[in-house]
Structure 1
């Protein structure tokens, strides 16, 4: 088994007050991006049969065939596990403008290329609050996530959920998609 040991030298910014609303916005954005990544990784040919629990006029139990990635069962499993991935994320500010971001340390097995552009914020709770905020958001918006993710015509799911639906992010915020 190949074991990769990475020695990281990260410039860490001393802890400073971060707006909770700004942090929740960033966590929401990363949450939705992670859900989208999981949904897009599923083979589109995989489908499930979804039964309707009401009988039609002939006494039959009608069913629909839906893509697995858009089924409530699959989305529920994703949302149950997605927040655990936040343990690999850090709070940081962009050196250029001081904008807060929540970002993964590693992307595709390599150091995140944005690490040279940010200052990591030292966090006394070792970023456990990111997972807590993520779980809190999932609990609050699970039904909205199901509805929006099931509709395939949504172009910007992050804005649809984090800005339009739950109002965690300001309307005109320039976000960096990670």
Structure 2
């Protein structure tokens, strides 16, 4: 009985050390870049003519409401809705190894309807089944949970190179890697 209890404590210590270990840089950098790419694509698919009313519900001294219209695509409400579903797209990504540099990253292999059905060359992708996309989805959800407000703020401002700012400067997931590229 004592051996079983001590074995359990040793096992729990090993598991806790593993869980607190460093994050996989390739996985988290790729997840961050994928979030930026997916949001950028979703925003581009939104009708630029659509607007949404924003503002407070306070009355001005003259009895009127302060209300303004902003483009729907970059509104906080719309960005929050897009962010809620962005991690569901991680099943469209797989581990890719560059044939020249042997650098590994997760890249989108599934074409979007707007791509015209252009499939990439699959010979450099490593499909590890659902575990691979599950790990990427988990990394995506972790990043979204940690940085939701920062992600929304960056995309609302229409900054240039949002992926670099988000993944290198804000989250630092891609800070010291060669993954600092705009395309996935």
TM bucket by the smaller chain? 0.7 to 0.9
For residue 175 of structure 1, what is the aligned residue in structure 2? 181
The counterpart of 2:143, out of the listed 130, 137, 142, is 137
The counterpart of 2:152, out of the listed 133, 146, 156, is 146
- 1:122 matches 2:128: yes
Deviation, 1:136, is 0.8
What RMSD over aligned residues (CA atoms) do the two structures have, in Å? 2.2
Deviation, 1:53, is 4.4
Superposed CA deviations along residues 93-121 of structure 1, whole A, max 9, x for unmatched, are: 111111112122221363632434x2416
Relative to 1, partners in 2 of residues 1:176 and 1:66: Cα closer, same or farther, differing over 3 Å? closer
Relative to 1, partners in 2 of residues 1:121 and 1:99: Cα closer, same or farther, differing over 3 Å? farther
Which structure has more helix as a fraction of its residues?
Answer: 2
Kept after mapping to 2: 8 A contact 1:92/1:100: yes
Structure 2 unaligned regions, length at least 5: 1-22
- Aligned positions of 1:62-141 closer than 5 A: 62-108=66-112, 110=117, 112-116=119-123, 118-120=124-126, 122=128, 125-141=131-147
For residue 42 of structure 1, what is the aligned residue in structure 2? 46
Normalization by structure 1: what TM-score? 0.78
Normalization by structure 2: what TM-score? 0.76
Kept after mapping to 2: 8 A contact 1:49/1:65: yes
Superposed CA deviations along residues 60-80 of structure 1, whole A, max 9, x for unmatched, are: 431221100011111111111
Find runs of 4+ consecutive structure 1 residues off by over 6 angstroms.
Answer: none
Structure 1 unaligned regions, length at least 5: 1-18
Deviates more, 1:102-111 or 1:20-29: 102-111
Kept after mapping to 1: 8 A contact 2:109/2:120: no
Kept after mapping to 2: 8 A contact 1:105/1:111: no
| Structure-2 separation of matches of 1:83 and 1:58 | 46
Q: Larger radius of gyration, structure 1 or 2?
A: 2
Q: Alignment length, in residue pairs?
A: 158
Which structure has more strand as a fraction of its residues?
Answer: 1
